[in-house]
Homo-oligomer: A and B are copies of this chain.
Amino acid sequence: MTSQPRSSGPSRPPGRPRDEQVDAAILAATRELLVEVGYERLTMTDVAARAEVGRPTVYRRYASKEALVAASVDAVRQPSPAPDTGSLRGDLRAELLPRAAELGEPLLLQFLAVLLVSNAEGSPFAQVYWRKAVAARRAAFGEMLERAQLRGELAADLDIDLLTDLVGGGMIYQALRPAGVRDEPLAQRVERVVELVCRLLTGVRVDGPGS
């Protein structure tokens, strides 16, 4: 395969090609350090050292620390389709519980924080990531809710985008509460949030509509 006759295509650029193992090592090192020390205390020098790579080799791939971190986290997210279990309750659980598990991973949590800080500082990277990764998830969630509306499980005039924000915010909020303040495991807490959301969305009925 090495002497493949060009086949056609964009005709690989001249010179030595980039080492893919280096690519992987850099991203892995970044993720590890991100979890271990956090964004602020992560240094390019440390990343290069852990990846057993020269510092310029990192910069050849990513122009800045911010870009490196973005890429390292981006690479870890894999898309998954919106669940379709047939019931709103089932869909919600199928969608949100895995999401909660992800939030429990320190890497994603860390990244979330970075995203927010960068965002607040007007970084372009935040917007890019938001549109790319967050928007997809939101769209899936939205479809899920629309199906529930079609089935009549959910009030048809509820603003789905708004609802998505509410549920998403509620979920993320759990993960961002400092560990020392939380009194129960994240997973359990999130489970209860999911239950609450189900109750609210399917129409609470406090003491009957009769009054």
Contacts and interface: CB of A to CB of B under 8 A. Distances in A.
A131 B202 CA distance: 33
Most buried by B among A121, A178, A201: A178
Contacts of A162: 192-193, 196
B193 A38 contact: no
A127 interface: yes
B156 A207 contact: yes
A133 interface: no
A136 B83 CA distance: 38
A198 to B, nearest CB: 12
Majority DSSP secondary structure for residues of A touching B: helix
Most buried by B among A40, A127, A154, A169: A169
Interface in A103-158: 106, 109-110, 112-114, 116-117, 119-122, 126-127, 130-131, 152-158
Nearest to A208: B209
A159 interface: yes
B172 A38 contact: no
B152 A117 contact: no
A162 B183 CA distance: 12
B130 A177 contact: yes
A1 interface: no
A117 B40 contact: yes
A167 B163 CA distance: 11
Contacts of A203: 203-206, 209
A200 interface: yes
A106 B181 CA distance: 26
A166 interface: yes
Contact of A39 (B121, B158, B166): B121
A174 interface: yes
A12 interface: no
A155 B110 contact: no
B113 A116 contact: yes
Contact of A181 (B122, B130, B180): B130
